[in-house]
């Protein structure tokens, strides 16, 4: 036997032995049974993902499985890639049997592994549907008086998308074209303005909820500022004055038990606020009292207090009605009164 022939014989024997070893290894890998615990996450999906919301959408669990080494390896690979489960497209909570979901999953079956147990065998995802609402957009320009009776908004309506459950939780949903006062205070008066602003959703709490959106994202607000509105909290009390028919002044004596109001905030045209600040204008509270009111108080059948009828800023003997809040409330304050009948005057005096 030549050396070449001997070498070929040795190589052939080596290949046969190697091939046999690999076949035995593959056979052992396919036949040797083992158990293992694998961590896995299943994702819940809807038939139409754009129209449905699932919360929570993921369910993580540990599963104890048995199978050949290859089956376990295939299952580990599948667990790393993640499993999916399609829920029924119905609003409400659904109960998902995880073991049954795995048994019905073709990819899980294909691994050849057997499921022994699950530490979290049940999931209860909440299914909700996304709905759309067409809502009108209302202009809101606090701190501004406009030339137009109603500033123009384009488009005049927007589409609101939200989970259906929120419709009953928030029955009075509104959309505003809201112009922040910090922005409007920088704009010129008597000049047409057009601004692109994001629609404001009310109640504001809705804006912070996931899956709530408005389309389009911007609306155009067109307006002309006539004057700016400012607020001023007065340092000095506001005097209360009575107003009523002069002809009964000889019949009744009216005394104010509440003759001054404190913590008054005036809301008015910026120029009028400037005049109040400079002392050129004085704010007063007016209480209107009819003769019948006075008589009823004297007779004990009337209430001895009346609300402020209105507030005025007096500039050079001219009165301008102003809006007022007291301690943050716009409810007219009650003024306590004391009314007594004057003695009748003898005839001829």
Averaged pLDDT for residues 167-193: 90
Q: Residue 105 has which token pair?
A: 């999953």
Answer yes or no: is 263 within a domain: yes
- Which tops the pLDDT comparison, 15 or 65? 65
Residues 261-303: pLDDT tens digits? 999 999 888 889 899 999 999 999 999 888 888 888 887 766 6
* Same-domain check for residues 70 and 98: yes
Residues 51-68: pLDDT tens digits? 999 999 999 999 999 999
- Beta-bridge mates of residue 52: 129
The residue from 124, 140, 175 where one domain ends is 124
Averaged pLDDT for residues 305-332: 90
The residue from 90, 124, 158 where one domain ends is 124
Q: What is the pLDDT of residue 29?
A: 47
Residues 62-117: pLDDT tens digits? 999 999 999 999 999 999 998 999 999 999 999 999 999 999 999 999 999 999 99
List, as one string, the DSSP characters of 71-110: HHHHHHHHHHH-EEEEPPS-SEE--EEHHHHHHT-HHHHH
* Span of 2-6, 59-63, 255-259, 338-342 with lowest mean pLDDT: 2-6
Domain containing residue 89:
32-124
Look over the chain and give the mean of its residue pLDDT values, rounded to a whole number: 86
CB 224 within 8 Å of CB 148: yes
Answer yes or no: is 153 within a domain: yes
* Same-domain check for residues 94 and 136: no
* Same-domain check for residues 222 and 243: no
Enter the pTM of the model: 0.60
* Same-domain check for residues 164 and 216: yes
Q: What is the pLDDT of residue 32?
A: 66
Answer yes or no: is 305 within a domain: yes
The enclosing domain of 148 has a CATH number of 2.170.120.40
Total domains, the chain: 3
CB 200 within 8 Å of CB 237: no
């Amino acid at each position: 036997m030549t050396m070449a022939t001997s070498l070929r014989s040795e190589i052939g024997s080596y290949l046969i032995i190697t091939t046999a070893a690999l076949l035995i290894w593959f056979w052992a890998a396919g036949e040797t049974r083992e158990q293992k615990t694998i961590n896995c996450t299943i994702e819940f999906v809807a038939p139409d993902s754009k129209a449905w919301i699932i919360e929570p959408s993921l369910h993580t669990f540990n599963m104890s499985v048995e199978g050949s080494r290859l089956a376990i390896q295939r299952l580990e690979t599948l667990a790393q890639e993640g499993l999916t489960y399609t829920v029924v497209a119905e609003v409400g909570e659904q109960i998902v049997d995880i073991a049954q979901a795995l048994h019905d999953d073709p990819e899980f079956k294909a691994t050849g592994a057997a499921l022994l147990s699950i530490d979290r065998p049940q999931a209860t995802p909440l299914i909700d549907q996304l709905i759309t609402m067409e809502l009108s957009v209302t202009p809101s320009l606090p701190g501004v008086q406009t030339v137009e009776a109603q500033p123009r908004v384009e488009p005049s309506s927007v589409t609101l998308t939200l989970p259906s459950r929120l419709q009953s939780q928030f029955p009075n949903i509104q959309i505003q074209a809201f112009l922040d006062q910090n922005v409007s205070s920088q704009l010129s008066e008597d000049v047409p303005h057009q601004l692109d602003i994001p629609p404001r959703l009310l109640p504001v709490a809705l804006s912070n909820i996931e899956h709530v959106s408005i389309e389009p994202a911007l609306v155009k607000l067109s307006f002309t500022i006539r004057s700016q509105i400012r607020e001023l909290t007065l340092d000095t009390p506001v005097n209360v004055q009575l107003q009523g028919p002069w002809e009964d002044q000889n019949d009744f004596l009216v005394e104010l038990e509440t003759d001054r109001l404190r913590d008054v905030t005036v809301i008015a045209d910026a120029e009028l606020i400037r005049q109040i600040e400079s002392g050129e204008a004085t704010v007063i509270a007016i209480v209107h009292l009819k003769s019948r009111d006075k008589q009823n108080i004297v007779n004990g059948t009337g209430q001895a207090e009346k609300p402020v009828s209105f507030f005025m800023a007096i500039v050079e003997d001219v009165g301008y009605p102003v809006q007022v809040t007291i301690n943050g409330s716009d409810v007219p304050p009650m003024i306590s009164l004391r009314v007594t009948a004057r003695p009748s005057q003898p005839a001829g005096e």
